[in-house]
Amino acid sequence: MNASTDLRVGLLGYGIAGAVFHAPLIAATPGLRLSAVVTASPARREKLAAEHPGALALDEAEALWARAGELDLVVVATPNRTHVPLAKAALAAGLPVVVDKPFAPTVEQARELTEHAAKLGLPLAVFQNRRWDNDFLTVRGLIDAGELGTVTRFESRFERWVPKPKTGWRELGDPEEAGGVLFDLGAHLIDQALQLFGPVRVVYAELDRRREGVQVDDDAFVALTHANGVRSHLWMGSLTAQGGPRMRVLGDRAAFTKYGLDGQEAALKAGHRPTEPGWGVEPAELSGKLGVDGDLRTITSHAGAYPRFYAQMRDAVRGIGEVPVTPESATATLELITAAQRSAELSAPVVCS
């Protein structure tokens, strides 16, 4: 594969995931070109023509597979229940694949898809973009530098105020939809905890449906006991009128507390692009505090860096290095989501094998 030639990318789906995250990041990555997008919606096709005039609009996935020879990578940014069948079809067409999170509705499907890609020798990655959030990068840097000493507890929140349920597949109760806040937001928080502190021995979870008429969990708490002794306490919800700290990390030397969600998603929704100066830089007033009460110092956040995902994926497709998020790591997150669901059913901790 010629390293000087742009890789041609086919994108399945132009809803929030496709239009807000994937298409802009692909377009902003040197060496990648958004070639074709599958969306049957007239409104979304009009939006695509305005935002990415060089991309071909296709009505269905089969039209994309018919052009497989004109592509180098496929991105699956469709409803969760379609992730596995569409990824399988892309692999069958001989194409590397990026699958949006959550990887699959079940652990078994995730493992099957991983094994299938390995047998075919094709790169397969999962879009866990929040490994490149400013808060996560900042906390990882502080831990690696020993600023906190030995970490004992990690608290992380991803909460929203959506008192009236929205329509759409994320609110449907069929398990194949993988809806609810545990799959939607918990997939991020659990993945971050695993990246920071490693394997988990015990999971305890509380899942609730707080809003009238909802079919899926909209309020959740998950406690992870890691093999190294760190406890991760994770909150996610849709009925949070006042947010707590985005992250609080307690160590035997110091603690770090930070408010405010990484701004890259909001910037993308507002039409800003990663090629603009200052991308990912956070307002100074959102900087976290490190130290002991009475002796705190402000820590300037690392810049958020979503573009790194597709830069690394580009290199992996070219045979240079590994995919940015392995399917095995995404499956580990699904295993903990499954354990959390079981814990909530039992109202008891679940020991991980």
Statement to judge: residues 158 and 282 lie in one domain? yes
Res 1 pLDDT > 70: no
Q: Is 204 contained in some domain? A: yes
Distance CA 83, CA 162 (A): 26
Statement to judge: residues 122 and 139 lie in one domain? no
Cβ–Cβ under 8 Å, residues 74 and 98: yes
Domain end: 127, 143, 162, which one? 127
Q: Is 177 contained in some domain? A: yes
Distance CA 179, CA 234 (A): 18
Statement to judge: residues 143 and 291 lie in one domain? yes
- Total of domains in the chain: 2
Task: For residue 223, give every residue at least 6 positions away whose Cβ sits within 8 Å of its Cβ, in sequence order, or none.
Answer: 203, 204, 205, 231, 232, 233, 234
pTM here is 0.94
Distance CA 139, CA 133 (A): 10
Distance CA 44, CA 38 (A): 10
Statement to judge: residues 65 and 171 lie in one domain? no
pLDDT at 169: 57
Distance CA 12, CA 39 (A): 7
Q: Comparing C-alpha atoms, which of 172, 171, 173, 178 is closest to residue 106?
A: 178
Statement to judge: residues 266 and 178 lie in one domain? yes
- Average pLDDT taken over every residue of the chain: 94
Statement to judge: residues 181 and 254 lie in one domain? yes
Q: Is 330 contained in some domain? A: no
pLDDT digits (tens, 9 = 90+) for 223-276: 999 999 999 999 999 999 999 999 999 999 999 999 999 999 999 999 999 999
Q: Which residue has the higher pLDDT, 4 or 122?
A: 122
Which tokens go with 351?
Answer: 């020991």
Q: Is 340 contained in some domain? A: yes
Domain end: 127, 159, 184, which one? 127
Handedness of CA 114, 117, 122, 128 (dihedral sign): negative
Q: Is 261 contained in some domain? A: yes
pLDDT at 170: 64
Statement to judge: residues 212 and 80 lie in one domain? no
Statement to judge: residues 118 and 137 lie in one domain? no
Statement to judge: residues 116 and 141 lie in one domain? no
When pLDDT is averaged across residues 297-317 and rounded to a whole number, the result is 98
For residue 34, give the CATH number of its domain: 3.40.50.720
The DSSP bridge pattern shows strands 255-258 and 124-127 to be unpaired
Domain end: 93, 111, 127, which one? 127
Q: Is 313 contained in some domain? A: no
Q: Is 315 contained in some domain? A: no
Res 178 pLDDT > 90: no
Which tokens go with 234?
Answer: 């994770």
Distance CA 322, CA 326 (A): 8
Alpha-helix residue ranges (DSSP H) falling in the chain: 23-28, 42-51, 61-65, 83-92, 107-120, 134-144, 181-184, 186-197, 264-269, 307-317, 327-346
CA dihedral 345, 114, 134, 281 (to 10 degrees): -140
Statement to judge: residues 152 and 286 lie in one domain? yes
pLDDT at 216: 86
Q: Structural domain of residue 207, as residue ranges?
A: 133-304+335-351
Statement to judge: residues 152 and 292 lie in one domain? yes
Angle (CA) 347 351 353, round 5°: 145
Which tokens go with 148?
Answer: 């906190």
For residue 165, give the CATH number of its domain: 3.30.360.10
pLDDT digits (tens, 9 = 90+) for 92-146: 999 999 999 999 999 999 999 999 999 999 999 999 999 999 999 999 999 999 9
pLDDT digits (tens, 9 = 90+) for 27-51: 999 999 999 999 999 999 999 999 9
Statement to judge: residues 146 and 289 lie in one domain? yes
Distance CA 36, CA 227 (A): 44
Task: For residue 216, give every residue at least 6 positions away whose Cβ sits within 8 Å of its Cβ, in sequence order, or none.
Answer: 170, 171, 172, 173, 179, 180, 181, 209
Angle (CA) 193 195 199, round 5°: 75
Q: Which residue matches tokens 């507002």?
A: 270
In angstroms, what is the C-alpha Rg of the chain? 20
Considering the chain, what percentage of its residues have pLDDT values greater than 90? 88
Strand partners, 155: 233, 248
Q: Is 85 contained in some domain? A: yes
Strand partners, 11: 37, 75
